Amino acid sequence: MTYQAEYIWIDGNEPTAEMRSKTKILADGDEPGIWGFDGSSTNQATGDNSDVVLLPRFQCPDPIRGGNNVLVMCETALPETLEPHPTNTRAAAVAAYDKYKEHEPLFGMEQEYTMLDPVTGWPAGFPEHGYPRPQGPYYCGVGAVKITGRDIVEDHMKLCMAAGLAISGINAEVMPGQWEFQIGPVDTVTVADHIWMARYLMYRLGEKHHLEISLEAKPMPGDWNGAGMHTNFSTKEMRENYDAIIAAAEALGAPGKPEEHLAGYGIGIEERLTGEHETQRFDQFSYGVSDRGASVRIPWQVAQDKKGYIEDRRPNANADPYVVAALMTETVCAALEK
């Protein structure tokens, strides 16, 4: 008997990388091994030297195909040396985690996304020739006029659970057609593996429902919220005392750090981080308790308990979770060691 392994990887598309996948049929009992693809078709190689290697790294049940079929998240590597491909961001996340794992970093990422009509590019739930009522009733809303796309969101949540991903919740967002799912709390590498896998499942559902799933940071200009990937982060020390919470927030605001982080927080950061719509401006750094207009929020419960985690509100929905998780692990853990 045989089964299907769907090999998934991140391509070299600019300015934002996209997902690719292809299927391998394997004999029962055989593990998905090293494979490869034509990098000249994914902006990862030239035609005269086109082979890019796929190294299987994270595997879970394939909840779409069911049975004993699997999804396999891969790292891309160079032929012969098997060194990470220049577009491979996972290897650096693994290195950051290995370096600092005694701090036991934990992440919860809130992935926002927008459902778009693939023909008009207009968000699902926007009337054909115009705008819906202003924002207000949509966030966590209930009812036909407020909510579009709940069926696909529910299906997605079930698929993530069946795949064994660390999905921790979903909610409707502030702009119509915008939703969020959360992954976590899990470690630096796992959170990013699971975010990418959950994105993959969402894209697959989008094919079925004829909806474009967009991670664009500011899909609708004007008085409409953008889409982010708030990143909640803690270490063992932060889960034990408040000094470490403050030290972590300060570390993210240290000279040079805001620029370094924003460079890895996704494309279109200036359009989304305007100081409006529950954001701090991209050129300012601040942190505060319960403050959704700050770069970094300390949840009220954390201020009360004097321990817990912080929320970096800056990453865009289109950010690479491997890059975001590696940056936060490096910056905060290095500061805690001082």
C-alpha Rg value of the chain to the nearest Å: 20
Cα dist. 96→92, 101, 261, 279 in Å? 6, 8, 15, 28
Q: Which does 233 bind (CB under 5 to 8 A by kind): Mn ion, ligand ADP, none?
A: ligand ADP
Q: Residues 196-235: x/- map of binding to Mn ion (CB under 5 A)?
A: ----------------------------------x-----
Burial 28-44 (b: 16+ CB within 10 A, else e): eeeebeebbbebeebeb
Question: Shortest Cβ distance from residue 265 to Mn ion (Å)?
Answer: 14
In the block, residue with structure tokens 């494309």: 267
Q: Of 90 and 230, which has the nearer Cβ to Mn ion?
A: 230
Residue among 1, 3, 11, 19 nearest 62 (CA): 3
- Token representation of residue 46: 């030239």
Using CB under 6 A as the binding criterion, the count of chain residues that bind ligand ADP stands at: 16
Rounded Cα distance between 132 and 134, Å, is: 6
Q: What residue type is 131 in one-letter code?
A: Y
Q: Does 63 bind ligand ADP (CB under 6 A)?
A: no
Q: Which does 185 bind (CB under 5 to 8 A by kind): Mn ion, ligand ADP, none?
A: ligand ADP
The dihedral built from the CA positions of residue 143, 144, 145 and 151, taken in this order, carries a sign that is: positive
* Near ligand ADP by CB under 6 A: residue from 107, 200, 265, 322: 107
Q: Which does 258 bind (CB under 5 to 8 A by kind): ligand ADP, Mn ion, none?
A: none
Q: Of 76 and 232, which has the nearer Cβ to Mn ion?
A: 232
Q: Of 110 and 187, which has the nearer Cβ to Mn ion?
A: 110
For residue 15, is the peptide bond before it cis, meaning its omega torsion is within 30 degrees of 0?
A: yes
Q: Which does 184 bind (CB under 5 to 8 A by kind): ligand ADP, Mn ion, none?
A: ligand ADP
Q: Of 78 and 296, which has the nearer Cβ to ligand ADP?
A: 296
CB atoms under 10 Å from CB of 81, counted, come to: 8
- Token representation of residue 245: 């919470």
Residue pair 187/109 in contact (Cβ under 8 Å)? The answer is no
In the block, residue with structure tokens 């696909």: 152
Q: Residues 209-248: x/- map of binding to ligand ADP (CB under 6 A)?
A: ---------------------x-xxx----x---------
Q: Residues 302-321: x/- map of binding to ligand ADP (CB under 6 A)?
A: ------xx-x----------
- Interface ranges with Mn ion (CB under 5 A): 110, 180, 230
- Interface ranges with ligand ADP (CB under 6 A): 106-108, 110, 168, 182, 184-185, 230, 232-234, 239, 308-309, 311
